[in-house]
Amino acid sequence: MSEYKRRRFLKTTAGVAAATAAGPMLWTAKDASAQWKGAPEKGASLRVLRWSRFVQGDIDQYMVNVKKFSDQFGIPVRVDNEGWEDVRPKAAVAANTGAGPDIILGTNDDANLYPDKLVDVTDVCDYLGKKYGGWYPVCEQYLKPDGKKWIGVPLGCAGNALVYRQSMLKAAGFDGVPKDTDGFLKMMKALHGKGTPGGFALGNATGDGNTWTHWVVWAFGGKMVDQNNKVVIDSPETIRALEYAKELYGTFVPGTLSWLDPNNNKAFLDGQLSVTSNGISIYYAAKNAQDPKVKELEADIFHSNFPVGPVGRPTEFNLFFNQMIFRYTKYPKAAKEFLRFMMEQEQVNPWVTASIGYVTPALQVYEQHPVWKDPKATPYRDSMKIMLPSGYAGKMGYASAGALADFIIVNMVAEAASGSKSPKEAAERAQKRAERYYKV
Amino acid sequence: MSRAATTLNETAAARSRGEPGAWARLQDNRTVLGLLFLTPAAALLLVFLTYPLGLGTYLGFTDTKIGRGGAWIGLENFEFLWGDAVARLALFNTIFYTVIASVIKFALGLWLALILNQHLPFKAFFRAIVLLPFIVPTALSAIAFWWIYDSQFSILSWALTRMGLISQYIDFLGEPWNARFSTIAANIWRGVPFVAITLLAGLQTISPSYYEAASLDGASRWQQFRHVTLPLLTPIIAVVMTFSVLFTFTDFQLIYVLTRGGPLNATHLMATLSFQRAIPGGSLGEGAALATAMVPFLLAAILFSYFGLQRRAWQQGGSDK
């Protein structure tokens, strides 16, 4: 898949600490064709809009890197932050009106809504791909829609994994999370039996609701659309997934139907949950907690990837991050230089360290980053590798974005799980709702 | 000297000075002056009210997406929404939410106003306290309610469990009907002060002499309320309830913070669904159509309170026969 032949990992005994210090070279590119010649416009200045941090270390180190760029190239950069859900409409308006930030860090299928409004960044992506072991295949599905031209530079994803309390799993007779869906259900039942249930968000939670419900549907072979964007959600596979979700729901802590994104974090950190699905932020919060009760959880919190269902391969859904340069920018070369610079290992290494792996980088070489050596963080290392794209298995665009924003999958799973509809009815309703987006 | 005479004299004087000047005459022209004074207000209304409303309505008839202009598609959005189970559920939720919340807000508000209208110790203090829920920004009070209704941390559930009244936490926002009533309760908490204080203002304009006269005629407290207070209060009731219904029908913040329309879309109001479809979902046209679909209901509510509650001629600027 990549031209990267052999990765050389220069072992740094200092590990994480060393990576923080001004980014030592952790590996050197073997592909000599990875050459970059940038020529930013004279007198350029840049405005960047990005999603606000989930963990403080992310933004702190990001800004250090930005300053480094400004110092080195003499290009002032202004960075604005917005909640990640607010970036999408702003980016779309910027694309439509032809005015706004030069660079926007967006999420999921944003770039596919206005591909012709974006600067072709194939040169940057080719260079970075060659130098750093290639992009994960899912990046191309997101940002190389025609298979030739990159419309954005992949940044990575906020990985979602199962967050669990090891002591509670042990008490229920499990050393770790089983690798298959049947074993997982058994574990959830055992935890429930012990009075230490898990719980997953089933309210209209944009992040935590979407991630695990997509996983469960995909794990059994269900999918919203086929490769031709034909809606096929009402399928026997989906119904099996919904029956499974119903059994799983029976083991949940009460109240998950109302859960929005913050609920599972709060409940977990209060010690009320044994398992949930989340980014590394729960662990980060425990690790940095002032409250000794919360701090105590740090040692007991472990992570695991989601179990694999009957389809026989991982089917995770993570929040993908892209970096787009808009055509209206006066300084496309400076913008490219900025993205190239920010993706070089000197910048990425300390940034990944500072955010303890909240964002899994999109370039494969970063799998060797020392942050993943911490067994607590290892599952997040593979988030890019094992995820399926938004709108799977079809093409991305307005229909996939609309269907996701309307919580069709979340609502379907919630209806079936809670028993308010039978799995068949829930799947039929989802089919009808999705067909409206995919205009049958 | 009469006004006409003054004008004549002035005109004559001006003529003798040989300077009628078109500009000066314009300045004296009442129509021109009137239009001139009207312009700023009209411009503000046009730019900030008429234009967005017109644009919003227009968008409802197009297939505009965020970031992509749309084409005119006539009633397609409305037909689409009519066949959409979630949109119909949102319509039901909105009407249910508005009717229940408004009726209770009115009853509680009137009751509170009547109490505050009595001679109470620390009257000013109580009146100020009553206004508090209305003063706190909705987003903040909604967050407080979010904790109150939390499935794991609810103080209500906690207290009831401690008192031994319930054995497990109440799922306030996780069960569709619980969620509907919980959001209505939060809306009532916030809306009552507005109704109460406005009605109190109305009560205070009623002259005590009516009550004296009524009590001399032997009217009971109920008869005084029924035949003096209520009729004299109806104009205020009409206004306050119109506003209350409008605020409730278009509520957004409370739902967005508490449930985002969940669980299972049981608390999606038209406003929240309109936002969900238009902004995160990107279908501006469809969202605009949903918002436009609220207008007939709002108009009906306004017409009802104006024609239903303001029956008397004097309330509409005429005089009672």
A164 contacts: CB under 8 Å, gap ≥ 6:
A177, A198, A274, A275, A276, A301, A302, A303, A304
Which amino acid belongs to residue A330? Answer: K
Lowest-pLDDT choice from A32-36, A336-340, A434-438? A32-36
CB-nearest partner of B152 from A272, A420, A436? A272
Chain B residues with CB under 8 Å of A407 CB are: 262
What pLDDT, on a 0 to 100 scale, did the predictor assign at position B312?
59
What pLDDT, on a 0 to 100 scale, did the predictor assign at position A1?
37
What pLDDT, on a 0 to 100 scale, did the predictor assign at position A93?
86
For residue A89, give both structure tokens: 């409409």
Beta carbons of B171 and A92 less than 8 Å apart: no
B18 contacts: CB under 8 Å, gap ≥ 6:
none
pLDDT-derived band of residue A264, with 50, 70 and 90 as boundaries? very high
Asked if A308 and A315 count as a contact pair (C-beta separation under 8 A), the reply is yes
What pLDDT, on a 0 to 100 scale, did the predictor assign at position B318?
57
Q: Find which of A93, A107, A258, A259 to mutate to test the B interface (most B CBs within 10 Å of its CB).
A: A258
Could you tell me which of A68, A36, A92, A167 has the C-alpha nearest to residue A324? A92
What pLDDT, on a 0 to 100 scale, did the predictor assign at position A6?
35
A162 contacts: CB under 8 Å, gap ≥ 6:
A177, A275, A276, A277, A303, A304, A305, A306, A379
DSSP letters along A33-46, please?
T------PPTT--E
Nearest CA in chain A to B257: A260
CATH 3.90.1150.10 given to domain B77-310: no
Q: How far is A248 from chain B (nearest CA, A)?
A: 17
A59 contacts: CB under 8 Å, gap ≥ 6:
A52, A53, A81
B-contacting residues of A 112-151, CB under 8 Å? 113-114, 117
Beta carbons of A204 and B262 less than 8 Å apart: yes
Alpha helices in A98-194 (DSSP H): 122-131, 137-143, 166-171, 181-193
- pLDDT tens profile A193-217: 999 999 999 999 888 999 999 999 9
Note the pTM of the prediction, 2 decimals: 0.85
Instruction: Examine the pLDDT at A14 and tell me if it is beyond 50.
Output: no
- pLDDT (mean) for A383-395: 94
Phi, psi of B317 (to 5 degrees): 95, 0
Beta carbons of A255 and B151 less than 8 Å apart: yes
Q: Which domains does chain A have, with CATH numbers?
A: 42-151+319-381 (3.40.190.10), 161-316+390-437 (3.40.190.10)
Could you tell me which of A12, A43, A37 has the C-alpha nearest to residue A27? A12
Q: CB-based contact (8 Å) between A82 and chain B?
A: no
- pLDDT tens profile B82-95: 988 899 999 999 99
Instruction: Kindly provide the residue ranges of all beta strands, DSSP E only, lying in A258-325, ordered along the sequence.
Output: 275-278, 301-304, 319-325
Alpha helices in chain B (DSSP H): 3-17, 22-28, 30-45, 51-60, 76-82, 85-116, 123-135, 138-148, 155-162, 176-204, 208-216, 221-224, 230-249, 253-258, 270-278, 284-303, 309
Q: Find which of B63, B93, B260, B274 to mutate to test the A interface (most A CBs within 10 Å of its CB).
A: B260
What pairing do the DSSP bridges indicate for beta strands A46-51 and A103-107?
parallel
Beta carbons of A411 and B264 less than 8 Å apart: yes
Q: How far is B134 from chain A (nearest CA, A)?
A: 26
Asked if B172 and A254 count as a contact pair (C-beta separation under 8 A), the reply is no
DSSP letters along B272-287, please?
HHHHHHHTTS--HHHH
Q: Describe the strand order of the beta sheet including A103-107 as a list of residue ranges.
A: A77-82, A46-51, A103-107, A319-325, A153-158, A359-361
What pairing do the DSSP bridges indicate for beta strands A359-361 and A153-158?
antiparallel
How many interface pairs between A and B have CB atoms less than 8 angstroms apart? 129
Chain A residues with CB under 8 Å of B282 CB are: 88-89, 92, 113, 398, 401-402, 405
Beta carbons of B173 and A258 less than 8 Å apart: yes
Q: CB-based contact (8 Å) between A36 and chain B?
A: no
Nearest CA in chain A to B68: A96
In which residue are the tokens 């995160």 written?
B280
Helix (H, G, I), strand (E, B) or coil at A369: coil
- pLDDT tens profile B212-237: 999 999 999 999 999 999 989 988 89
Residue A167: count other Cβ atoms within 10 Å of its Cβ: 14
Q: CB-based contact (8 Å) between A64 and chain B?
A: no
- pLDDT (mean) for A303-320: 96
Q: How far is A415 from chain B (nearest CA, A)?
A: 7
In which residue are the tokens 């799983």 written?
A248
Q: CB-based contact (8 Å) between B143 and chain A?
A: no
Chain B residues with CB under 8 Å of A204 CB are: 259-262, 265
Q: CB-based contact (8 Å) between B52 and chain A?
A: no
In which residue are the tokens 């750093």 written?
A132
pLDDT-derived band of residue B314, with 50, 70 and 90 as boundaries? low
Nearest CA in chain A to B168: A254
Nearest CA in chain B to A115: B67
Given CA atoms A408, A414, A420, A424 in this order, what sign does their dihedral have? positive
